[in-house]
Structure 1
Amino acid sequence: MATRKLTELASVIRSKNSGPYELTLDVIFKDKAAYDAVCRSQVINKSTIANLYGISEEEVIGIIEFAPANAIKATIVRPYPSGALGERDVYGAQQHAPLLNLEVSLD
């Protein structure tokens, strides 16, 4: 079974605030074939996101596959509220890094 890095299949991997207490992780794929392959693999799930971010599955608020945009969105609880003491990324724009090495098994 072949594997590819998520970075090879996606044109955009980003993170951003989803309010002061949540982060959204967006993966937008290069084409429908790549999107469909990742959806079939089910690699982007609550367990994977929880493991990558060192959080519990309960802190993964939701994962949405959005076919019209060839995109998958995951929303998680922020470890610190945006702008709180000790918080280092007020915009949530630097939190996508754990997704960059994610391997996808292709059938």
Structure 2
Amino acid sequence: MPETIGDLAHEVRAKNAGPFWITMELFMRNAAGYDIVADEDFLNPSVVAELYRVDAAGVRMFRIPSLNVVKISFPRPVSQGSLHDRDMHAGQHHVPLALLEIPARP
């Protein structure tokens, strides 16, 4: 089976970043895993936009090599607590990202 981000990470989590934003964090186990997810050819705003059906222009990515962490934020499709909000605390938004397959390595 192909490796996923979740396989390489210590933790992948999503959290509520206020009524209008969602933030996800990738806590990688080591520098090698961080190097994979921090690579802009692999994980970038366009990939996140496709996974979450949001506008790539609104996706913000923060790479923190000293902690082996990548943070990703984007505007919520609907405001928190509104009639069409399906995950008020953004607790399940991490799943598509955690299941993203890592490209085969030589």
Among 74, 80, 83, the residue aligned to 1:82: 80
Q: Which residue number corresponds to residue 24 of structure 2? A: 25
Q: Which residue number corresponds to residue 66 of structure 1? A: 64
Q: Distance in 1 between matches of 2:39 and 2:48?
A: 17
The Cα offsets for residues 43-70 of structure 1, whole Å up to 9 and x where unpaired, read as 220010000011221231x101111211
**Would you tell me which structure has more strand in proportion to its own residues?**
1
Q: What stretches of structure 2 of length at least 5 have no aligned partner?
A: none
Matched, 1:102 2:88: no
Larger displacement relative to structure 2 (97-106 or 64-73): 97-106
Q: Distance in 1 between matches of 2:63 and 2:5?
A: 15
Q: Structure 1 residues 34 and 102 mapped into 2: Cα distance closer, same or farther (>3 Å)?
A: same
Q: What stretches of structure 1 of length at least 5 have no aligned partner?
A: none
* TM-superposed deviation, 1:6: 0.8
Contact 1:26 1:73 in 2 (8 A): yes
Secondary structure of the structure 1 residue equivalent to 2:26: strand
Contact 2:36 2:42 in 1 (8 A): no
Contact 1:10 1:30 in 2 (8 A): yes
Q: TM-score, normalised by structure 1?
A: 0.86
Q: Distance in 2 between matches of 1:84 and 1:73?
A: 25
**Which runs of structure 1 show a deviation greater than 6 angstroms over 4 or more consecutive aligned residues?**
none
Contact 2:63 2:71 in 1 (8 A): yes
Q: Distance in 2 between matches of 1:41 and 1:76?
A: 17
Identity between Structure 1 and Structure 2 (%): 31
What RMSD in Å do the two structures reach over aligned CA positions? 1.6
Contact 1:41 1:104 in 2 (8 A): no
